[in-house]
Amino acid sequence: MMETEARDWKSALEILSLDFARPVYRELGVGIQNEETIRGISRDALLGRYSLPESLEATPPPEVTTEEGVEPLLPAVARILGDKAARQLGYWVRYTACSESDNPWTEYERLFFAWAGTLRRLGRDDFRLTTDPAIVASQLHWMTNLESSKGILSRQRTKPLSDWDLPLFSRMGLFETPAGSDYFPYVDAIMLTIGLAQFQRFWLWLLPRLKPADLASIGLLAEQRAHSKMRHTLPEELPLPDAR
C-alpha cells in the first residue's frame, strides 16, 4: 500500500473509532447507520485484526479471503453490514475523510466558496449560472454552516476522554500542547471531514438544478483555477456516493 493511502485509511478509521466523535457521527457523512458496529470494526482494524485495502479505490472482492489469519477490512464490512456499507466506507475514506489535493471534491469546495465570496463582495457571478446565483449562494451558506458542529466539539473538549481515546489523543500531542493554545487533537480533521460531507450534500442538491451550460461554465472555471491540470475532474464526473 502506498504510504499516503495507508495514512488516509488510518486517520479516517481513527476518527470513526473515537468516542470523542460520537455526537457528530452523522455529520461526518459516512452514511452507515450501524454506528456502534462501524466503530467496533474501525477499532479492530486499528488493532491489526483486519488488513487495510491496497488502494483507496478498492472495492470488496466477490469472495471474502483471508491471508495469514487477517481478514481484509472491506470484505469484512460487506460480510457484517452488507455490500452497500462496504462501498460507503470505501467512498467516505477516499472522497470525504481525505482532504488531500488529489481528492477532486476539495478542488470544487474551494472553488464554490471563492465564487460565493466574489458574488457577495462584488455582485459578480463568475459561474454565469442560468439559475438565480443568490439562491445558490444562500443554500451553500446554509448547508455548509459548521457552527453547530464546532459547538458540539467545543463541549466535547471539556469532557474526560475514554480509555480508547486517551492513548490516541496522547500520541497526537494533547499533553504537549503549550498553555493557551487552541490546538486539540482530531478536531481539525473532524471539522474538515464534516465540511466536505456538507459540501457533497450541497452538490447533490444543486446538481439537478444545473443545465449543461452551467456545468460547462463551472468546469471551465475549475480547470482555470485547478492546482494541477493533470488531476482536474469535470463537475459531471465528480464521484457520487453509492445510493444503491
Tens place of pLDDT per residue across the chain (244 aa): 444 477 789 999 999 999 999 999 999 999 999 999 999 999 999 999 999 886 655 544 444 444 445 789 999 999 999 999 999 999 999 999 987 768 899 999 999 999 999 999 999 999 999 999 999 999 999 999 999 999 999 999 999 999 999 999 999 888 887 776 788 999 999 999 999 999 999 999 999 999 999 999 999 999 988 766 556 789 999 999 875 5
pTM of the model: 0.89
Distance CA 197, CA 201 (A): 6
CB 64 within 8 A of CB 76: yes
Which contiguous run of DSSP H or E holds residue 67?
Answer: none
How many other CB atoms sit within 10 Å of the CB of residue 92? 25
* DSSP single-letter state for residue 54: S
How many other CB atoms sit within 10 Å of the CB of residue 58? 20
How many other CB atoms sit within 10 Å of the CB of residue 223? 13
CB 17 within 8 A of CB 46: yes
Distance CA 59, CA 242 (A): 12
Cell numbers of 195, please?
465540511
- CA of residue 65 relative to chain centroid, distance: 28
Task: Encode 103-128: b = buried (16+ Cβ within 10 Å), e = exposed.
Answer: bbbbbbbebbeebbeebeeeeebbbe
